[in-house]
Amino acid sequence: MERIEISARLREKLGKSSARKVRKNGDMVPAVCYGKGSSPVHIEVSTSAIRKAIATPYKLNTIINLKISSDKESFEKMVLIKDVQKDVFGKKILHMDFIEVKEDVPVVVKVPIKLVGKAKGVAEGGILQQTMRELEMKCLPKDIPMAIEHDITNLGIGGAIHVKDLNIPATAKPVVDKDRTVAVVVEVKEETAVPVAAATAAAGAPAEGAAPAAEGAATTPAQQATAPDKAAAKPAGQEKK
């Protein structure tokens, strides 16, 4: 794998106020380089250089040679990008984390899973559902693959792909359960349409076990309140003499 070289500057002052000053200095951002058995190294790097580095086919798995310098010293570290913090809009880089790697020490990385072709189950009316889009695997830095590709042309309805079915390089080993599902083609179930007339009749029919309303049934208090008063007083002059 080709390595990308990026220059970095050691940060002499730490803290939030110092980090804000770094961000105001053109396209520089604060970053930290972590390494096993060594203290974190606080640096500042160019965001344009980082964007160029991750524009390679390997994306965040691109191996970077950090050339770190200060007024007193300079040294190099081979690193991978561990984390990229961005603003709320997801555009501006605010902070970077790197992890130091060694040529002869395996690393754990996430590699994209690319499904190639059109599943025959989709042509038959099914829907392809990819439940795993990245495979976590362990390998040497030089053996990190760009992606794991799998041909799904013969995948029919009800068919599934598992981790153990993937074409994983012999130089890498998955660190997840081999029986985990990667993708499946599911059948689309059609809903039975109910005729409008039948639905209307069913809605108007009394519930099972319900007694039919009796003719002349007693009215509710509310109905009594709104009904005309049959016992209204007779007009004047018609009283019994």
Domain boundaries, the chain: 4-100, 107-186
**What SS3 string covers 15-72?**
CHHHHHHHHHCCCEEEEEEEECCEEEEEEEEEHHHHHHHCCCCCHHHCCEEEEEECCC
The CATH H-level superfamily of 107-186 is: Ribosomal protein L25, C-terminal domain (2.170.120.20)
pLDDT of residue 199: 53
| Global model pTM greater than 0.75 | no
CA distances from 129 to 38, 58, 125, 182, 184 (A): 43, 25, 13, 9, 5
pLDDT of residue 176: 96
For domain 4-100, the CATH class is mainly beta
pLDDT of residue 19: 74
Q: Which residues of the chain have pLDDT under 50?
A: 213-222, 225-241
pLDDT of residue 204: 59
Q: Got the DSSP string for 180-205?
A: -EEEEEEPPPPPPPPPHHHHHHHHHS
pLDDT of residue 15: 74
pLDDT of residue 14: 75
CA separation for the pair 53, 68 (Å, rounded): 16
Other Cβ atoms less than 10 A from the Cβ of 137: the count is: 25
pLDDT of residue 239: 47
